[in-house]
Structure formats: structure tokens, C-alpha cells
């Protein structure tokens, strides 16, 4: 089997989101051409992405929306609850906590940490902000699998090291800095600044 690319996985998530929405609005079947048209990709791209994981369509007919949603959720590991922690309860961290409310999936922020004494004990979206010193214990107790870093860039590496030491090997990094991590750790960078710079470049 060929390696599954990050780009493919990213698109599967986009497909899933769209399918969930049309499912709610009552659409029961869709073709790769129609899906491609709505999501600005090529239909062959969609069929290829799906083909890495199985046969989900029916020739001459298309895909059953409900069934494809189930399959994608299963592929993406979204059938079981995934406990996540968030480090850094500043503006962005608080926004992300609240944002999560809108999601209809099983990825749940179970703990929020900060190093600032003024923030500790504060309630955000029903979660009490804990001291970063609690991180190691809470991660174990709550079986936390993923970490979201929303601290200033000056402490992001330190936080990443702490997460990894505590057994969290899947990290979403909002801090504007490049993290150094061991090979087995998976990091995704949400690089707001780089995207703005890229837009600036294309202004001409």
C-alpha cells in the first residue's frame, strides 16, 4: 500500500463536513462530480482519495451520503471520544474553547492549562483553568491524547516538551514558532502570520 498523504486526510475532513451538512438538509445521494464542484476539487481527486480506504460508491449511481459519512468518521478515527487539552487561556485559547461547542464530533477539550496565577481557577466554557503544573497528572487521569498550544511563542517549545513528556504526541500549534519535536510526534502548525504574508505576496 502506498503512503496516505496529509493532503488526502485533510480533504477527507473537508468532504465529511460538507456531507454532514447536506445530510441534515435531506440529501441522500451524491456523485463525485457534484461533490467536486461544491468543494473546488477534481472529481478524480475525490475518487482517488476514497480509493485508498475502500469502495464506498456504486457505479452509475454515486455515493450514499449517510453511509459515506459513517465511513469517513471511521477512517478519521472520530467514532470514539478523543480527549484534548488546551494550553494557554488567553484570548485565542478562550475563543477556541468556545468554538469547540459548535462541533458535532467527538473531539472534546477536557482540560485547560495556564501558568498565569490570575487565570487559574477561571471558568471557560465550564472548564476550570488548571495550573500548568497539573498538566502531567491530568493528562494521565483524563487519558488526554492531543494538545493544543495557544501560548506566546516564547514559551511554546517549553509547553511542547512538557506535553510530549506527559505522553501527548499529537499537537496542534497556534504559537507562531517552529517546534522541535522527536520523530514520532505529530505536529500541525496553524500559522496565521504565514497565511497573511502569503496573501500579502499575492497582492502583487
Partner DNA sequence: TAGATTGTTAATCGATTAACAATC
- 23-52 residues in contact with DNA (CB under 7 A) are 31-33, 41-45, 47-48, 50-51
Question: How many angstroms separate the CA atoms of 23 and 189, rounded?
Answer: 31
Contact between residue 146 and residue 173 where contact means Cβ atoms under 8 Å apart: no
CB of 82 to a second copy, least distance (A): 6
Q: Identify the CA nearest to 18 among candidates 37, 1, 5, 45.
A: 37
Nearer to DNA, 33 or 108 (CB): 33
Contact partner, 53, from a second copy, DNA, none, Cβ < 5-8 Å per class = none
List interacting residues with a second copy (CB under 8 A). Answer: 6, 9-10, 12-14, 16-18, 38-40, 75-78, 82, 84, 90-92, 94-96, 98-99, 102-103, 105, 107, 145-146, 152, 170-172, 176-178, 180, 186, 188, 190-204
Phi, psi values for residue 175, rounded to 5°: -75, 135
Question: How many angstroms separate the CA atoms of 68 and 65, rounded?
Answer: 5
* Three cell numbers, residue 141: 487521569
CB of 60 to DNA, least distance (A): 2
Nearer to DNA, 23 or 136 (CB): 23
Contact between residue 108 and residue 99 where contact means Cβ atoms under 8 Å apart: no
Tell me how long the chain is: 204
CB of 14 to DNA, least distance (A): 12
How many C-beta atoms surround the C-beta of residue 191 within 10 A?
A: 16
Contact partner, 59, from a second copy, DNA, none, Cβ < 5-8 Å per class = DNA
CB of 60 to a second copy, least distance (A): 27
Contact partner, 152, from DNA, a second copy, none, Cβ < 5-8 Å per class = a second copy
Q: Identify the CA nearest to 135 among candidates 152, 158, 118.
A: 158
- 122-151 residues in contact with DNA (CB under 7 A) are none
- Please compute, for residue 109, the number of CA atoms within 13 A of its CA located in the half-sphere on the CB side: 28
Through-space distance between the first and last CA atoms of the chain, rounded to whole angstroms: 42
Identified binder of DNA from the candidate list 5, 74, 98, 106, rule CB under 7 A? 5
Residues of this chain that bind DNA (CB under 7 A): 3, 5, 7-8, 31-33, 41-45, 47-48, 50-51, 55-63
Amino acid at each position: 500500500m502506498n503512503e496516505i498523504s496529509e493532503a488526502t486526510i485533510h480533504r477527507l475532513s473537508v468532504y465529511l463536513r460538507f456531507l454532514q451538512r447536506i445530510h441534515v438538509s435531506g440529501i441522500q445521494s451524491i456523485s463525485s462530480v457534484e461533490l467536486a464542484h461544491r468543494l473546488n476539487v477534481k472529481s478524480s481527486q475525490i475518487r482517488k482519495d476514497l480509493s485508498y480506504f475502500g469502495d464506498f460508491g456504486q457505479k452509475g449511481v454515486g455515493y450514499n451520503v449517510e453511509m459515506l459519512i459513517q465511513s469517513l468518521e471511521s477512517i478519521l478515527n472520530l467514532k470514539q471520544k478523543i480527549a484534548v487539552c488546551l494550553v494557554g487561556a488567553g484570548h485565542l485559547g478562550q475563543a477556541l474553547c468556545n468554538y469547540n461547542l459548535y462541533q458535532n464530533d467527538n473531539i472534546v477539550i477536557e482540560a485547560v492549562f495556564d501558568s498565569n496565577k490570575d487565570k487559574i481557577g477561571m471558568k471557560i466554557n465550564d472548564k476550570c483553568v488548571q495550573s500548568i503544573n497539573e498538566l502531567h497528572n491530568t493528562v494521565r487521569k483524563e487519558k488526554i491524547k492531543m494538545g493544543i498550544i495557544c501560548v506566546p511563542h516564547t514559551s511554546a517549545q517549553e509547553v511542547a516538551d512538557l506535553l510530549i513528556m506527559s505522553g501527548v504526541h499529537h499537537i496542534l500549534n497556534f504559537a507562531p514558532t517552529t517546534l522541535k519535536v522527536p520523530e514520532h510526534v505529530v505536529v500541525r502548525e496553524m500559522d496565521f502570520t504565514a497565511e497573511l504574508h502569503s496573501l500579502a505576496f499575492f497582492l502583487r
